[in-house]
Structure 1
């Protein structure tokens, strides 16, 4: 046995290594200890029965087993103001300990730059991941006065919409102001089913619909040619409809293109989940890991298939970047976007 003694530097290094080795399991144990026996609340920024409910409920039924401590996950529905009510609550009121996370609107970052009454900063929330994109399509009824983009330049087409703070209003209005179309928008329809009935009655001609929801709910009409998709809003074309032009690509003016890109970011965000800011890093990491593992869980995927749900996962870190970029959109672009929506 050597009689050499360790110098102060070597002792310090050895101590740090020992501390690190002890810290790793302690961190995992801390997360498991926190979640064991607890109930986590998943705040849903909409009412029960729709697409938000479907995705949040399916996630809640499978994510628990991937979290250390296997906590129970329950849904709390908090509709209002396009999910602004729920996002304000999660950001300002909810505990910042990892016991609450949320499914807000895909427009959460847009609302921050466009709306009043915002009490959150979406870029400071911890984004856990995305279940599916919110790639949207503009669809027209087969008996409408015009069914192609070229025809719509010269004939009035009536869009059914919900309210001025939603994509059902944004895109027809922006295409009128920036691209010269002749769309008329009728506001006040409570949900997509109401607009579908209006299309059948001839009361309206067109609608802005999330592509995944359209395929699952109105697949028969698509197959029969009763609903005709004619454009897509997203940052990328749907893999199963590469023929659909991006609204962003219809713009030639750089400022107009930037405005469409700002609004189209909601498609990438889609059904994404987030915690409040300042949640301990180890718990955020555990939540992101559990979310990611759930997206490849065979039992989860089987349920999603049974429920006709599209699954297009994206990591929380990637969603964090999209949200940050949207929130940081230059003020000049925001001013022009607001003017175009008037």
Structure 2
């Protein structure tokens, strides 16, 4: 064979390399690779907890058994991580993440920090929904729904844009409650401590926090739960009003449903747009299997965590419905929150 003929064969071989790589069996892609779970918050809290828990078990259910690690990227209420995942992260299946459950709502409300399209993420699955509740001291005149309508009730806020401020504002506007928002509390736990000190009569926290740290308040009638911020009542709380029930007409109920939709997103994981469909299916199937892992379930039980997994396809629909909400509803909420 002549030298020129050999050069031609090499050139053909090089040209075929991309095709050979593309033809690599999908179930071998992750072998020897590392998948990074980017957590949009600092260590501590349930976003970090579930992100690291997933990293411990996920790899053994993904074909090729890749290494899985968790990495924190806090900033801008987790939007730094969401923007990075959407715009910069590898789109080959080796990058997934978890961000604030309000990710779709904030896009619909045109938050300037948002540089992503929530429905274009490829959602992998949810570890749990997040039921938030409004706690009111039993001795308060606002300890009933009717009482809240006739008595100013101080409630702890962790700042503008937080659920602890947004929900009371919305309820004041659509249900006639008289929450008085008291800012200056770093977190929901601080709000509960403020109730103990008599600084406020009410605070917002998660049901998981209440049942693991303050159940005596409810058993001893020291406090009551007036609302659960979900579209429909949780099986755990069949006698506590879902916030949507506070609406008296279709427009108000639509607004409250939009506000509460983030509860159903909860602690959910997503991949960037552009990841090949076969790899997304592997990641989703592996996530579903991981949520049934006996050791993971034992961790959840030991920590007394809320645990309500949902498939990636189910989360995809919830996110799309929220992100594509009627602009009239989003604009109304923007105005209420700005007041």
Is the shorter-chain TM-score for this pair beyond 0.5, marking a shared fold? yes
Q: Verify: 1:160 aligned to 2:156, yes or no.
A: yes
The size of the alignment, in residue pairs, is: 317
**In 1: Cα distance, 2:333 partner to 2:93 partner:** 36
The question of whether the paired residues in 2 share the 8 Å contact of 1:135 and 1:267 is answered with yes
The question of whether the paired residues in 2 share the 8 Å contact of 1:96 and 1:276 is answered with yes
**Which 10-residue stretch deviates more, 303-312 or 27-36?**
27-36
Spell out structure 1 runs of 4+ moving beyond 4 A.
26-29
Measure how far apart 1:32 and its partner are. Answer: 4.2
Equivalent of 1:320, from 316, 320, 334? 316
Which residue number corresponds to residue 103 of structure 1? 98
Which residue number corresponds to residue 63 of structure 1? 58
The question of whether the paired residues in 1 share the 8 Å contact of 2:229 and 2:243 is answered with yes
Q: Verify: 1:85 aligned to 2:80, yes or no.
A: yes
Which residue number corresponds to residue 142 of structure 1? 138
Measure how far apart 1:216 and its partner are. Answer: 2.6
Q: Verify: 1:249 aligned to 2:245, yes or no.
A: yes
**In 2: Cα distance, 1:104 partner to 1:217 partner:** 25
Q: C-alpha deviations, 1:129-149, integer Å up to 9, x for none?
A: 111111221111234342111
Which residue number corresponds to residue 196 of structure 2? 200
The question of whether the paired residues in 2 share the 8 Å contact of 1:27 and 1:282 is answered with no
Q: Verify: 1:54 aligned to 2:49, yes or no.
A: yes
The question of whether the paired residues in 2 share the 8 Å contact of 1:31 and 1:69 is answered with no
**Which 10-residue stretch deviates more, 215-224 or 167-176?**
215-224
Where structure 2 has 5 or more consecutive residues not aligned to the other structure, the ranges are 1-20
* RMSD between superposed Cα atoms in Å: 1.8
Q: C-alpha deviations, 1:73-114, integer Å up to 9, x for none?
A: 222112222211111111111111111111111100001011
The question of whether the paired residues in 2 share the 8 Å contact of 1:51 and 1:213 is answered with no
Measure how far apart 1:249 and its partner are. Answer: 1.3
Measure how far apart 1:202 and its partner are. Answer: 1.0
The question of whether the paired residues in 1 share the 8 Å contact of 2:152 and 2:178 is answered with yes
Which residue number corresponds to residue 11 of structure 2? none
**In 1: Cα distance, 2:32 partner to 2:92 partner:** 15
Q: TM-score, normalised by structure 2?
A: 0.89
**In 2: Cα distance, 1:305 partner to 1:152 partner:** 36
Which residue number corresponds to residue 133 of structure 1? 129
Q: Verify: 1:44 aligned to 2:44, yes or no.
A: no
Measure how far apart 1:291 and its partner are. Answer: 0.5
Which residue number corresponds to residue 209 of structure 2? 213
SS in 2 for 1:213: helix
The question of whether the paired residues in 2 share the 8 Å contact of 1:123 and 1:320 is answered with yes
SS in 2 for 1:153: helix
Equivalent of 1:309, from 283, 290, 305? 305
**Which 10-residue stretch deviates more, 70-79 or 115-124?**
70-79
Measure how far apart 1:27 and its partner are. Answer: 9.7
**Which 10-residue stretch deviates more, 27-36 or 122-131?**
27-36
Which residue number corresponds to residue 254 of structure 2? 258
**In 2: Cα distance, 1:257 partner to 1:276 partner:** 32
User: Structure 1 residues 86, 214: closer, same or farther in 2, change over 3 A?
Assistant: farther
Equivalent of 2:274, from 278, 284, 287? 278
Where structure 1 has 5 or more consecutive residues not aligned to the other structure, the ranges are 1-25
Equivalent of 2:171, from 149, 170, 175? 175
**In 2: Cα distance, 1:223 partner to 1:295 partner:** 32
